[in-house]
Amino acid sequence: MNVELNALGGSDDVAVVEPEVARIERPTLHNVVVSRLRDMIIEGQLPAGVRIHEGQVGLQLGVSRTPLREALKVLATEGLIELIPSRGAFVRKLTVKDAHDMLGVLSSLENLAGPMTCQNASDEDIREVRRLHEEMLAFYAARDRLQYFKRNQQIHSLLISLSGNESLALVHDILQTRMKRIRYIGDQKEESWSAAVREHEEMIAALEARDGARLSSAMVGHLAGSWERIHSEI
């Protein structure tokens, strides 16, 4: 902390304190509960359509009902659960039409984002995408499905964010969040998982070449592959 002393009216000194850099906050209980519940939904520990028993889940996580209910509200805004008055919280169940409609919109958004991302991303941005991709591949090699999936989603979000179009990124994030569970189950089979990895390799290559049309084609193709992988699982 830097302090500057100014002489005012004789011997009186005034200390001018410069603002300190904001401290990095540790994860709060609220954020931890939200993250854990989200993972439980993605992995299927809380299956689609089931009612979430607050007492049992709270006991399992070692938390009271207050932080649990607050976390459920967050997941409701994400579209992962439904809060039904007088009935409770239910894991949202998507229909085949729901999934098809959302993938169609995501495909349009990613097709639009490709050229903008290749134009606006800095070299450092592209290196960060590559870094996340390499981490994803490491989780793939270790067959750590959940951590692989999280890196996968980070890559998609970053590619869209780098387009520089905030409205596009906002809508994309909403739909991507609602489809987490369905897209997670799409990689259950080994051949499907390896196909998804190959599609990601093409996306990264297109980005590094700054070929917007190629990146759009790769992302749209990846979503088409996702539909083939998930529609029979819903």
User: What pLDDT does 217 receive?
Assistant: 97
C-alpha to C-alpha distance for 112 and 123, rounded to whole angstroms: 21
Is residue 148 within 8 A of residue 156, CB to CB? The reply is no
Residue corresponding to tokens 């609602």: 178
Could you tell me the two tokens for 46?
A: 């809380």
C-alpha to C-alpha distance for 117 and 115, rounded to whole angstroms: 5
User: What pLDDT does 23 receive?
Assistant: 53
Domains and CATH numbers, the chain: 1-93 (1.10.10.10), 96-230 (1.20.120.530)
Task: Indicate yes or no: pTM above 0.85.
Answer: no
User: What pLDDT does 7 receive?
Assistant: 44
Is residue 223 within 8 A of residue 112, CB to CB? The reply is no
User: What pLDDT does 187 receive?
Assistant: 66
Beta bridge partners of 81: 91
Question: What does pLDDT average to in each consecutive run of 10 residues of the chain (234 residues)?
Answer: 46 51 62 89 87 92 91 91 92 87 93 97 98 97 92 95 96 88 75 90 97 97 84 67
- What is the phi/psi pair of residue 88, to 5°? 115, -160
Of the candidates 156, 160, 154, 152, the one whose C-alpha atom is nearest the C-alpha of residue 118 is: 160
User: What pLDDT does 1 receive?
Assistant: 45
- Contacts of residue 69, defined as CB under 8 A and 6 or more positions apart, other chains included, come to 54
